[in-house]
Amino acid sequence: SRSFTVLALESSADDTCAAVVTSSGNILSNVVLKQNHIHEGFGGIHPYRAVQAHQQNMPIAVRKALNDARMNAAEVDGIAFTRGPGMTGCLGVGSSAAKTLAAALNKPLVGVHHMQAHALTPILTSAPNPPTFPFLTLLVSGGHTLLLLATSITQFRILATTPDESIGRVFDKVSRMLALPWSVKGPGASLEEFVAASTVQEDLALLMPRTMPGILRFSFTGLHSAVERFVTARGGTEALDMSTRHALANAFQKAAVGQLEEKVALALAWCEKQGIGVKHLVVSGGVASNLYLRESHDPILLVFPPAELCTDNAVMIAWASMHRFLTGNTDDYSVLIRPKWSI
Ligand code: KG4
Ligand code: ZN
């Protein structure tokens, strides 16, 4: 039978995304319009600036997604959007655009859970040998620090998350605190590059606290504070020579990745105790591009979706909506966004 084609929109945080994907897994287009430059000076996403940028960028993203896919809007079979979780005003832009498109084109509509979409990405990207349920997903980015157990296409359980800053933001902050050389890939990646570029290092591992040993919960603020205390005690960033910065960055990266490994091991032990046989660990999100993390060895099969599908994108939203379109489980126009939405 003919495949089903979805146009999906994503606007839960600071990226405006549109994509066209078919039910056979063909990615016909994948547009991501970033707005990092707008939020650079705010130490986080500025909520109203983000809404404004989405309002300006969404039509551009939709137009480009259709152009890239060489399709007319009328040839699309369904419209998907991110329903939550995310920033209220941001979600509203994608939701309104998707509903209006669905109504104008008279096509079915599906609102998708953003985290479920992240978790289902490897099924699309690892075809024809996708991870098999149940599998673990470690989602580590600027927005998320999550360890999930996926037991089916609709069933997920959070095994560990963080009550404070995400791992990606802490990489960014530590990198900025050490005034590391600029990288196109951002401050987190520049920290990794900086560490990899040097070999002679003083060992500062002892400075780094172990976070809640034995407990299935993440926290990276302790590592952040440890770096901050050290820098302050030495008279500030300018007073640190490059080899000390190397040592600090190295100790931080080791401890941060070490914490991920420790919590994954705990989660695997928990699964085993529950009689849940997990074969795959999917690692995704911006931090998953960290080579030091990729080289670390876990006892199970590691799956890394391609970087461009780990960061926020609309391909994953289209993909996560597919089973609902195909079973006729669609939403009507009264569907509301859910800024807070447990998985
Ligand atoms: O998934 P992502 O691109 O988007 C957001 O969630 O916003 O993740 C971005 C995060 C940033 O905080 C960045 O510092 C981090 O991923 N990141 C890295 C690396 N590349 C990006 N962290 C550590 N090592 C890297 N190589
Ligand atoms: Zn995300």
Q: What is the pLDDT of residues 228-242, one digit of tens each?
A: 999 999 999 999 999
**Displacement of CA 204 from its chain's centroid (Å):** 30
Interval between CA 46 and ligand 2 midpoint (Å)? 17
Identify the pLDDT of residue 234.
95
Q: How many percent of the chain have pLDDT more than 70?
A: 98
Structural class in CATH, domain 135-304 = alpha beta
Q: Which atom belonging to ligand 1 lies closest to the Cα atom of 291?
A: 26
The mean per-residue pLDDT over the stretch 100-115 comes to 97
Nearest to 22 by CA among 325, 328, 309: 325
Q: How far is CA 145 from CA 132, 178, 233, 237, 305, in A?
A: 22, 23, 29, 28, 17
Instruction: Report the separation in Å between the CA atom of 115 and the middle of ligand 2, taken as the mean of its atom positions.
Output: 7
* Domain ranges across the chain: 5-126+308-326, 135-304
- Residue owning the nearest CA to atom 14 of ligand 1: 188
Give the pTM.
0.88
Q: By the 8 A CB rule, do 29 and 66 touch?
A: yes
pLDDT digits (tens, 9 = 90+) for 175-212: 999 999 888 888 999 999 999 998 866 889 989 999 89
Chain centroid offset of residue 167 CA: 11
Q: What is the DSSP string of 98-141?
A: HHHHHHHHT--EEEEEHHHHHHHHHHHHTTTSPPPSSEEEEEES
Tens of pLDDT, residue by residue over 14-50, are: 899 999 999 999 999 999 999 877 777 676 788 899 9
Which residue, judged by its Cα, is nearest atom 2 of ligand 1? 286
Q: Domain 5-126+308-326 classified CATH 3.40.50.150?
A: no
Ligand 1 neighbours by CB, cut-off 6 Å: 141-143, 168-169, 171-172, 185-189, 192, 285-287, 289-290, 310-312
Quick one: pLDDT at residue 1? 61
Helix (H), strand (E) at residue 201: none
ipTM over 0.95: yes
Which pLDDT band, with edges at 50, 70 and 90, does 297 fall under?
Answer: low
- Length of the chain as a residue count: 343
Asked if the domains at 5-126+308-326 and 135-304 fall in one CATH topology, the answer is yes
Atom of ligand 1 nearest to the CA of 144: 6
Distances in whole angstroms, Cα of residue 127 to Cα of each of 91, 130, 214, 325: 30, 5, 35, 20
- Whole-number Å distance, alpha carbon 284 to ligand 2 midpoint, is 10
